[in-house]
């Protein structure tokens, strides 16, 4: 028998941590190699962690709803065959994967009560930030382990904290303290924040804090698009088995414009801007409670039919909770169909680390002046948010004008579906 460690895998190129949303095994369970051990949430996708060994689960180091860095130990497994591993006991493995305790009371607690004393890096960091003696915190995780949620609840309830060590004087001005967390009043309904919502929140905050957003809008005449699509939609649905949506035309128009203005298809990298060679369009897909952004790879090389098929397939996978890491990775520019909710004007938050996001609003019939005449046309607003570190108004305006031109020139004669 040998004792082996299972660690948090890297579930994507830019992923640095994951949250255990649900354990699929318990201590004593026998597992085969590649069996799923746990479901993990990242800021990109939900995935399962497979076992690297065949054997028996000895201990679950990480608690459900606990966030760990890539490479951190999450559980121990006793493998079949071979000699006893020289690995340290699970308690020591957990300690080695954590930073040094932030204060003496927490270190003492770990020695007195190993079951609750295996604190994750996230728990230790929170305890240090708030000066909390973890000996006063009740754990709700497996085997009484203290989770981030327990520490946050302790802080929000206004419990007394241990005195913090005096910090050395700083020459820079101190920031104002954060506002206290809101508390529930009588009659309020508290909605628990699940792992996916936490990941979305973290990603959006990162985008708004890091990226200086700028915004502009143009309106396009989509009358030709509407006529072309409406003439084909019933026959297309009967033959292909899925819908020919307006959104497929917009994605194609954006992909074509990105070929002419590739700087929109880029990302900020500190001392350089990386202009992506592939045009991979992220599309926003909403479920009842969550938002996912799967990717149409090489959208510029696909027909409108191919794009429509991928939109249908990715949306179905998102709503069934079956999106893979590959489905969610590699996006270079985002197009969001906000018009499907009836919106006519909006400002999107950029999908970090991309350079821009385009919101396609509702197609609305309006009276429009054409030369000296008034006509009823199908108009649509196109709202663009840009990273002002990379893009300025001139190039963003030219890009939007090209998207507008691509939409306004869609006709039966010059816009093939296949």
Dist. CA 19–CA 38, nearest whole Å: 10
Catalytic residue among 130, 290, 298, 388: 388
Pair of tokens at residue 334: 């985002």
Active site residue 388: yes
- State both tokens at 344: 């006519």
**Residue 264: strand, helix, or coil:** helix
Helices of type H across 211-363: 223-240, 246-260, 304-319, 325-328
- Which residues are registered as beta bridge partners of 354? 267
Host H or E run for residue 368: strand 356-370
143 is catalytic: no
Residues 6 or more apart whose Cβ sits within 8 Å of residue 36: 24, 48, 49, 50, 51
- Token digits of residue 71: 């490479």
Beta strand 333-336 with 356-370: parallel, antiparallel or unpaired?
parallel
Q: Where are the alpha helices (DSSP H) in 323-392?
A: 325-328
Residue with tokens 């409108």: 304
Tell me the CB-side half-sphere exposure of residue 143, using CA atoms within 13 A. 14
Is 403 strand, coil or helix? helix
- CA 36 → CA 105, 189, 385, distances in Å? 37, 35, 40
Per the DSSP assignment, residues forming a β-bridge with 38 are 23, 49
What's the CA gap between 287 and 18, in Å, rounded? 22
Tell me which residues are annotated as active site: 388, 392
């Amino acid at each position: 028998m040998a004792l082996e460690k299972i660690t948090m895998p890297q579930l994507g190129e830019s992923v640095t941590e994951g949250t255990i949303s649900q354990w699929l095994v318990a201590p004593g369970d026998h597992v085969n190699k590649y069996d799923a051990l746990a479901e993990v949430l990242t800021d990109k996708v939900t995935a399962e962690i497979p076992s690297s060994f065949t054997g028996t689960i000895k201990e679950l180091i990480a608690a459900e709803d606990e966030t760990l860095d890539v490479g951190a130990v999450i559980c121990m497994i006793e493998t079949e065959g071979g000699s006893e591993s020289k690995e340290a006991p699970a308690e020591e493995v957990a300690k080695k994967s954590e930073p040094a305790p932030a204060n003496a009371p927490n270190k003492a607690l770990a020695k007195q009560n190993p079951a609750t004393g295996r604190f994750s890096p996230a728990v230790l960091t929170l305890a240090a930030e708030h000066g909390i003696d973890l000996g006063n915190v009740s754990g709700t995780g497996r085997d009484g382990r203290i989770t981030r949620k327990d520490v946050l609840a302790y802080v929000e309830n206004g419990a007394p904290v241990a005195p913090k060590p005096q910090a050395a004087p700083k020459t820079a001005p101190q920031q104002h303290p954060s506002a206290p967390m809101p508390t529930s009043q009588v009659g309020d309904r508290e909605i628990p924040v699940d792992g996916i919502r936490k990941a979305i929140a973290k990603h959006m905050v990162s985008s708004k804090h890091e990226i200086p957003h700028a915004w502009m809008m143009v309106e396009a005449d989509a009358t030709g698009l509407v006529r072309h699509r409406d003439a084909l939609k019933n026959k297309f649905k009967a033959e292909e088995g899925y819908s020919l949506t307006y959104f497929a035309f917009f994605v194609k128009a954006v992909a074509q414009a990105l070929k002419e203005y590739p700087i929109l298809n880029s990302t900020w990298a500190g001392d350089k801007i990386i202009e992506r060679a592939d045009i991979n369009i992220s599309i926003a897909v909403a479920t009842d409670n969550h938002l996912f952004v799967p990717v149409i790879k090489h959208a510029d090389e696909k027909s409108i039919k191919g794009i429509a098929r991928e939109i249908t397939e990715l949306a179905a996978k998102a709503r069934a909770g079956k999106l893979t890491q590959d489905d969610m990775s590699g996006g270079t520019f985002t197009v969001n169909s906000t018009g499907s909710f009836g919106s006519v004007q909006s400002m999107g938050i950029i999908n970090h680390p991309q350079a821009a996001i385009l919101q396609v609003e509702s197609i609305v019939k309006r009276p429009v002046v054409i030369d000296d005449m008034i006509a009823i046309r199908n108009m649509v607003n196109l709202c663009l948010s840009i990273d002002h570190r990379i893009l300025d108004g001139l190039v963003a305006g030219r890009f939007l004008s090209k998207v507008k031109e691509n939409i306004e020139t869609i006709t039966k004669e010059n816009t093939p579906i296949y």
